[in-house]
Amino acid sequence: MGDRSSLRVLIAGGGTGGHVIPGLAIARELRDVHGAEVRFVGTARGLETKLVPEAGFPLELIRVGQLKNVSLATRVRTMLDLPLGLMRCVGLVRSFRPDVVVGVGGYASGPAMMAAILLRVPTLAYEPNAVPGMTNRLVGKYVRAAAVNFSETAMYFRNATVTGVPVRDEVFAVPDRLLGPTRRLLVTAGSNGAKIFNETMPGIAVRLLDRVPGLTIVHQTGEKALAATREAYAKAGVDPARVEVSAFLTDMPKEYAAADLVLARAGSTVAELAAAGKPSLLVPLPTAADDHQRKNAELVARGGAAEMLLQTELTPEVLLDRLGGLLTDGERLRTMGLSARAMGKPGALRRIGEMVAALRGTHSPPIART
């Protein structure tokens, strides 16, 4: 099984990019800086089945499903699968013998973290959101340590440290944009885009471009909505020279550097916006688990780095007014950008790696009896 003198880490969780991508960043840091042997545990339905093997890490699969925002039948099936998932994770922990188990959230995180706690293996919970999801709330008081993004989140965990979220150095290197006579709006919502943006922006684009002279728009739609969104802009008579519509944006540091304002969701993007020092109008995804995106947006808005617009309040006229007001107020954009930059936390990945390495040889607290 390899040299027992090397650090062994099991990273548990996945499902969405918000879980898998930070997990991979932590894995690379542990492997490259701390010489760790890293394995993942996830489920067959998540992005981890593609991204983890591509990154060169072994992946173990367990069967476990959702409990939140699903049908009764799905909840019952998940409850029946949980004991089997826990037993599978107990077996994985015993066979791999990790020094530390890191939970990054998602379906597989709960059983793996509970197995580690039961076997007294040190655990670290990673939580990027203002309010933890169900898994991290359940294990929060039993983990050995936690790495969180917001100070307000520390209360949910034992031994929490505000580390920030792993964000690429290139994003932190985005220079402060000097506001000139023109403006650029970046519309982005992760790899799948946002239906509300794709449907609303084409209908207001002509009026927004008239209201903000020299404005250009970069709109990321996701693959499925690309053709329909492009067609909607064309039917609306939008000048194609002033709007760029793409399924994906491959160079986000470049896009952030060129943007004066970002229209976005409020998931893991909020950490990148802070790192890049970008003002934003955040529209939280209303179906996000535990309404965590709204809570993220509230904290960022409270810090002066963004404005929040709830999707239930978003109409074409409201969005036009909010975007137009921000894009024509250079002083407001500058102030918001400075506030965003102040909320950025460089060095998060280094700190998380050091925390994991420091847990080797410690003991997790026992489960309290009730």
Residues 157 and 195 reside in one and the same domain: no
Instruction: Establish if 82 belongs to a structural domain.
Output: yes
CB 11 within 8 A of CB 23: yes
Instruction: With CA atoms as reference, report the closest residue to 99 among 350, 352, 356.
Output: 356
Could you tell me the pLDDT band of residue 272, with boundaries at 50, 70 and 90?
very high
Average pLDDT estimate for 166-176 = 91
For the stretch 192-207, pLDDT in tens is 899 999 999 999 999 9
Instruction: With CA atoms as reference, report the closest residue to 322 among 241, 262, 255.
Output: 262
Instruction: Establish if 211 belongs to a structural domain.
Output: yes
Average pLDDT estimate for 242-252 = 94
In this prediction, residue 71 carries a pLDDT of 55
In this prediction, residue 271 carries a pLDDT of 93
Q: Which range, 30-39, 63-72, 100-109, 182-191, is most confident? A: 30-39
Which CATH number goes with the domain that contains 67?
Answer: 3.40.50.2000
For residue 285, the enclosing domain spans: 170-343
Q: Which of 29-38, 51-60, 83-92, 348-357 has the lowest mean pLDDT?
A: 83-92
Residue 170: Cβ-neighbour burial (10 angstroms; 0-12, 13-18, 19+): middle
> How far is Cα 298 from Cα 70, in angstroms, rounded to an integer?
26
Instruction: Establish if 122 belongs to a structural domain.
Output: yes
Residues 147 and 215 reside in one and the same domain: no
More reliable by pLDDT, 63 or 346: 346
Task: Give the chain's domain count.
Answer: 2
Instruction: Establish if 74 belongs to a structural domain.
Output: yes
Residues 195 and 249 reside in one and the same domain: yes
Instruction: Establish if 2 belongs to a structural domain.
Output: no
Average pLDDT estimate for 146-171 = 94
pLDDT beyond 50 at 370: no
For the stretch 65-77, pLDDT in tens is 554 555 555 454 5
Residues 240 and 333 reside in one and the same domain: yes
What is the reported pTM?
Answer: 0.83
Residues 247 and 179 reside in one and the same domain: yes
In this prediction, residue 299 carries a pLDDT of 95
Residue with tokens 């981890």: 48
- Reduced to 3 states (helix: H, G, I; strand: E, B; else coil), residue 292 is helix
pLDDT beyond 90 at 330: yes
Instruction: Establish if 368 belongs to a structural domain.
Output: no
DSSP labels for 193-252?
--HHHHHHHHHHHHHHHHHSTT-EEEEE--TTTHHHHHHHHHHTT--TTSEEEES--S-H
CB 349 within 8 A of CB 29: yes
Instruction: Establish if 181 belongs to a structural domain.
Output: yes
Q: In what order do the strands lie in the sheet with 145-148?
A: 59-61, 37-42, 8-12, 100-103, 123-127, 145-148, 160-162
Residues 80 and 206 reside in one and the same domain: no
Residues 233 and 146 reside in one and the same domain: no
Could you tell me the pLDDT band of residue 253, with boundaries at 50, 70 and 90?
very high
For the stretch 214-234, pLDDT in tens is 999 999 999 999 999 999 999
Phi-psi region of 16 (alpha: psi -120 to 50; beta: other; left: phi over 0): beta
In this prediction, residue 68 carries a pLDDT of 53
For the stretch 41-55, pLDDT in tens is 998 888 899 999 999
CB 191 within 8 A of CB 17: yes
Instruction: Establish if 198 belongs to a structural domain.
Output: yes
Residues 130 and 196 reside in one and the same domain: no
Residues 93 and 113 reside in one and the same domain: yes
More reliable by pLDDT, 262 or 82: 262
pLDDT beyond 90 at 333: yes
Residues 193 and 157 reside in one and the same domain: no
pLDDT beyond 80 at 82: no
Residue 292: what are its φ and ψ, rounded to 5°?
Answer: -65, -30
Residues 158 and 68 reside in one and the same domain: yes
Residues 303 and 186 reside in one and the same domain: yes
